[in-house]
Structure 1
């Protein structure tokens, strides 16, 4: 079976928005792999020898969360910044139980929702910047000032958030890669450009982890998302059991609270 890359045009003559049915599966996979990662890291005794789970299955979660945020930011929301604020609110609720995890050596680190929220903010800024440049609505000095402020914000925030500087780049690079892959184009040059736009994402994904196993799972997750953007999204059926909204919003802070409670009880018994 060959993957159809010819763009689908909607009734108004514009490029049709891609199907997002894959994100229904992605939500379940992201929560499961994240939970496996955190259980293997914080709950399961080292003597069980399950550290491999965090370096394999656990490395799917973050690139998958980032991909879904980037996808929705591109195709399913009119206001990405409002979407970023909603993610930030979950992060604020989750921060206290997140800080109760045994991670004293890391110092004060803001949880993954801050990474995702700031990453989406950066991606939305890049998208708006491109549109203003195409309209000629941005002067050279304003461009230099905005880019300088963005780089400074990225350099500063990277010291405080989970997955650090490279993590902050994931959503903007996803958005840069997904857009041209979705827009397609049958000409060789167009497809070559779309492929080239994906290389920065794959490079950052490969640099995010230390072990070869972790790198492989992170890069493979990104490649799967890029295939979806290139047209495979049309092949994904709707998930039979959709993620309940309350579960989706509450699982991240809730599972940290449950782990913290368990560690407190186990420590007291020990």
Structure 2
């Protein structure tokens, strides 16, 4: 849970909270690109030649989900850990049908909701740790120990979740960059510093895929999210048709269950 010192620091922050209108569009785009990726990967016959979809449009989904989770965890909730737990519940429901998907390896892998939940919890915990240190409530050696412990957990967990170490690191890096870009203001020095903090996001995004096409779509998605944090959020109109909450919560486990059912009926799981 976010510490009282961190909440007190937020309460005295005069930076206006950015508009989240863009996330209404982001929800539809994230579900559409994720579904296209999974349909072309598991359902569409290989001779159809649609594997390019997963290497292009399909690479938008994860960084977009990560950007929305980081945004809400940073700007729209006072309890990021509770938000992370809600994501984790979705992941637990989706894990069984997710494990039924055909894979190149039989190794146990936890779905992307575990990556998002762990990354958000890590980012929130690091923010709390740094806030306590700045307020004088945490000694430097305890800060160093906390950072070392979190990096150890990141290293150990990275082999068990989708998108691995890069996926876990993307959430806290996005939170850090979005925070500074939103607070940069007009002085050129502040803008340059915020831009420098955003560079690691793009570096990690570029490491998440193999092909140049996949890398470009992932990096471009992260770049768009950073642009929104820098002020472009003001340009986004409200989405005409808001995503129904139940649909948003049920789509990830539900679409995996339907794909698993289709594969079972057609013999694809045999």
Q: Distance in 2 between matches of 1:144 and 1:135?
A: 16
The aligned residue for residue 224 of structure 1 is 224
Do the aligned partners of 2:101 and 2:260 also contact (CA within 8 Å) in 1? yes
The aligned residue for residue 185 of structure 2 is 185
Shift of 1:106: 4.9
The aligned residue for residue 235 of structure 2 is 235
Q: Distance in 2 between matches of 1:268 and 1:244?
A: 32
The aligned residue for residue 113 of structure 1 is 113
Q: Distance in 1 between matches of 2:228 and 2:39?
A: 29
The aligned residue for residue 267 of structure 2 is 267
Q: Distance in 2 between matches of 1:247 and 1:269?
A: 26
How many residue pairs get aligned? The number is: 259
Range that drifts further, 121-130 or 48-57: 121-130
Q: Distance in 2 between matches of 1:19 and 1:90?
A: 26
> Segments of 4+ in structure 1 off by > 3 A?
none
Q: Distance in 2 between matches of 1:258 and 1:116?
A: 23
Shift of 1:171: 0.7
Normalising by structure 2, we get a TM-score of 0.93
Q: 1:120 to 1:268 in 2, by over 3 A?
A: closer
The aligned residue for residue 127 of structure 1 is 127
Corresponding position: 1:256 with 2:250: no
Q: Distance in 2 between matches of 1:107 and 1:57?
A: 27
Unaligned runs of 5+ in 2: 1-11
Shift of 1:143: 1.5
Corresponding position: 1:21 with 2:37: no
Corresponding position: 1:173 with 2:173: yes
Corresponding position: 1:211 with 2:215: no
Q: Distance in 1 between matches of 2:177 and 2:269?
A: 50
The aligned residue for residue 4 of structure 2 is none
Normalising by structure 1, we get a TM-score of 0.93
Shift of 1:104: 5.1
Corresponding position: 1:94 with 2:87: no
The aligned residue for residue 195 of structure 1 is 195
3-state SS of 1:105 partner: coil
The aligned residue for residue 65 of structure 1 is 65
3-state SS of 2:59 partner: helix
The aligned residue for residue 140 of structure 1 is 140
Q: Distance in 2 between matches of 1:58 and 1:29?
A: 10
Q: Distance in 1 between matches of 2:140 and 2:130?
A: 13
User: What's the Cα RMSD here?
Assistant: 1.5
3-state SS of 1:51 partner: coil
